């Protein structure tokens, strides 16, 4: 490597097909502005000219937690939390420090990840995700008439970030366009929303497709799996624990009192340097 070329070290970690780059905040000299941090994130997440990822978890020291993280999506927008991204950070910290319990400060509060299994570069955790806030059914009238439907019924859920859970008998071919149309309903979701299309498969199983703020379709979502599961429990579709089947793998969500717990894996993929010039 040419020592005159500025670079940023990164670690890439994947959780059920949802991939993130983990970067120490100190990797960028000085104190970058939000705009500068956003621009770097967009560059490094580009799947053709960068490393490629759904987002970057920027990591910073914290006085009481093991780490504080700041999530920037691959379009440069900031999000409160990613359940999968948080688990990716936990896997990295376990690998580095041989820890089995990791406390991570997120934009949605402190999350505790407990290691439940390990096999090579794959780590499995159960994370205490906190309380879900479930709102009454919300009917959204779509502006686009070419989607074959003029309105959608769904359950708004907050996991510290906003979700809209739609139950369907099967996933329509236009589900991505429909989800994007739901996201444009700013009167309902002034801070944007993650959309889940959910099929109830049995007493303890749901299948979910995800369309997330700042990313679009993702192979899975940790908070989206939690939102889908608690909405399905609240509406009587399933009971706890819930196996959430995603295109990227399996999550298990259980409730204990008002608290939601998420179990899933994270795989260390690679590490390297991204050249800034």
Task: Give residue-wise pLDDT tens across range 34-62.
Answer: 999 999 999 999 999 999 999 999 999 99
Residues 6 or more apart whose CB falls under 8 angstroms from that of 70 comprise: 25, 57, 58, 60, 78, 107
Report pLDDT digits (tens) over 11-27: 999 999 999 999 999 99
The DSSP bridge pattern shows strands 249-256 and 242-246 to be: antiparallel
**Domains of the chain, start order:** 7-127+265-275 (3.10.310.10), 133-263 (3.10.310.10)
| Percent with pLDDT over 70 in the chain | 96
Q: Kindly tell me if the per-residue pLDDT of 145 is higher than 60.
A: no
Q: Kindly tell me if the per-residue pLDDT of 188 is higher than 70.
A: yes
CA distance 8 to 15: 22
pLDDT of residue 166: 98
pLDDT of residue 101: 97
CB 252 within 8 A of CB 117: no
Q: Kindly tell me if the per-residue pLDDT of 146 is higher than 70.
A: no
Structure-block tokens of residue 218: 């993702």
| Percent with pLDDT over 90 in the chain | 87
Structure-block tokens of residue 230: 């608690």
CA distance 218 to 249: 12
pLDDT of residue 3: 47
| Sequential DSSP letters for 115-148 | EEEEETTEEEEEEEEEE-EEPPPEEEE-S-STTS
Full-model pTM: 0.93
Q: Average of pLDDT values for 266-276? A: 96
């Amino acid at each position: 490597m040419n020592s005159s070329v500025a670079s940023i070290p990164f670690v890439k970690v994947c959780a059920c097909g949802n991939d993130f780059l983990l970067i120490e905040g100190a990797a960028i000299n000085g104190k970058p502005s939000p705009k500068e941090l956003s621009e770097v994130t967009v560059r490094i997440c580009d799947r053709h000219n960068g490393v490629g990822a759904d987002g970057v978890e920027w990591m910073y020291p914290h006085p009481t937690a093991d780490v504080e993280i700041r999530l920037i999506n691959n379009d440069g927008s900031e999000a409160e939390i990613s359940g999968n991204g948080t688990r990716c950070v936990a896997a990295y910290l376990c690998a580095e420090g041989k820890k089995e319990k990791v406390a991570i400060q997120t934009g949605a509060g402190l999350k505790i990840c407990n290691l439940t299994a390990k096999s090579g570069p794959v780590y499995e955790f159960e994370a205490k995700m906190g309380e879900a806030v479930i709102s009454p059914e919300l009917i959204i009238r779509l502006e686009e008439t070419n989607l074959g439907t003029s309105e959608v019924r769904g359950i708004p859920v907050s996991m510290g970030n906003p979700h809209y859970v739609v139950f369907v008998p099967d996933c329509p071919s236009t589900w991505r366009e429909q989800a994007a149309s739901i996201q444009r309903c700013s009167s309902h979701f002034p801070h944007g929303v993650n959309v889940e299309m959910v099929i109830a498969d049995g007493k303890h199983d749901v299948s979910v497709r995800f369309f997330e703020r700042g990313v679009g379709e993702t192979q899975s979502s940790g908070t989206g799996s939690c939102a889908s599961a608690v909405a399905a429990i609240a509406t009587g579709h399933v009971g706890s624990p819930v196996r959430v089947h995603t295109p990227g793998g399996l999550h298990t969500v259980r409730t204990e009192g008002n608290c939601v717990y998420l179990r899933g894996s994270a795989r260390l993929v690679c590490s390297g340097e991204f050249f800034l010039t």
